[in-house]
Amino acid sequence: MLKLVNVSTFYGSVPVLRNVNIHVPKGSITCLLGANGAGKTTTINTILGFVRPSAGEVFFKDNFIAHASTEDIIRMGIAVSPEGRRVFPKMTVEENLLVGAATDKDKARVKRNIERAYTMFPRLGERRNQNAGTMSGGEQQMLAVSRALMSNPEIILLDEPSLGLAPLVVNYIFDTIKAINEGGTTILLIEQNGFKALQLADRAYLLQKGEIVAECTENTPEAKEKFKEIYMANHTKKDE
């Protein structure tokens, strides 16, 4: 569904992504792991058209999107829950959701989607008229995910949904991610702390200093185990 082929991205003359190949098949949960500064968020920004790759191509449903506008990319069916949640702090929960539906002209469907969000996260329903900036981190993350779902995306890019959240809340968010995926939405999950994400994932990539250093393309225990070993080795190396 979403494919990055030999993508290289520069900030100025500094390479941030080098020859990155990622394939997110339809219906999968694909996980992109990597330490701080590995290029995870740049990958997202490249997919969304905020930065242009200097080489390579991004495909979405067999369309080239590397040079499309962000608005068109969102319209095609990609949605994002950005790193740090980025909810609109001085707008209510409901207004945040409505902005999430900026590309949807069908009012009845927008209304249904809002109700769906409140069913999925009853907490959001209780706080629908509260300013998003006054909510807890977990609630803001729920809002960020729900807001991304408002545009009826075929794929959601989740950028570190567990960042700064308590373990219990993380479990809750991850359960929801699984449920969203089972509802038919493809997911690209980007995480720094990968073990939890790996349990969920069908596929996984490990990004290090802008390069994919390991990938796990089969959803089998052996393949995952092997990937985990590489990931662990990387992880501990980083910690030293």
Partner 1 sequence: MTVDVLLQQFFNALGLGVMYALIAVGFTLFFGVIEVVNFAHGEVFMLGAFGAMVVGTAMAGAGVEAGSVTYLLAVLAIIIIVGALFGAALEKFIVAPMRGAPDIMTLLITLGASIVVREAVMIFFPDGRNPQPFPQMIQMDSFNIGGALIKPETIICIVISAILISMMYWIIEKTALGRYIRATAQDRQAALMMGVNANRVFIITLILGSVLGSVAGLMNGMSYGIIKFNMGFAASIKGFAAAVVGGLGNMYGAVVGGLLLGFLEIFVVSFLPNGSSYQELVAFLIVILCLVFRPSGLFGEKAYDKV
40 lines the binding site for partner 1 (CB under 8 A): no
Distance between CA atoms of residues 2 and 9, nearest Å: 17
Q: Is 122 a binder of partner 1 (CB under 8 A)?
A: no
75 in contact with partner 1 (CB under 8 A): yes
Residue in 95, 172, 176, 209 binding partner 1, rule: CB under 8 A = 95
Total residues contacting partner 1 by CB under 8 A comes to 23
In whole angstroms, what is the distance from residue 43 CA to residue 40 CA? 5
Question: Rounded to the nearest whole angstrom, what is the least distance from the CB of residue 147 to partner 1 in the complex?
Answer: 7
Instruction: Check residue 100 for interaction with partner 1 (CB under 8 A).
Output: yes
Task: Provide the residue count of the chain.
Answer: 240
Task: Please count the helices (runs of H) and the strands (runs of E) in the chain.
Answer: 9, 10
In the bound state with partner 1, the residue whose beta carbon lies nearer, of 57 and 95, is: 95
Q: Closest approach of Cβ 151 to partner 1, in Å?
A: 6
How far, in Å, CA of 40 to CA of 192, rounded? 9
Span from 18-26, 96-104, 113-121, 208-216 in contact with partner 1 (CB under 8 A): 96-104
Contact 177, 161 (CB under 8 A): yes
Is residue 86 involved in binding partner 1 (CB under 8 A)?
yes
H helices of the chain, where?
A: 40-47, 70-76, 93-100, 107-120, 122-126, 137-149, 167-182, 194-200, 221-239
Footprint on this chain of partner 1 (rule: CB under 8 A): 48, 50, 70-71, 74-75, 80, 82, 86-91, 95, 98-100, 102-103, 133, 147, 151
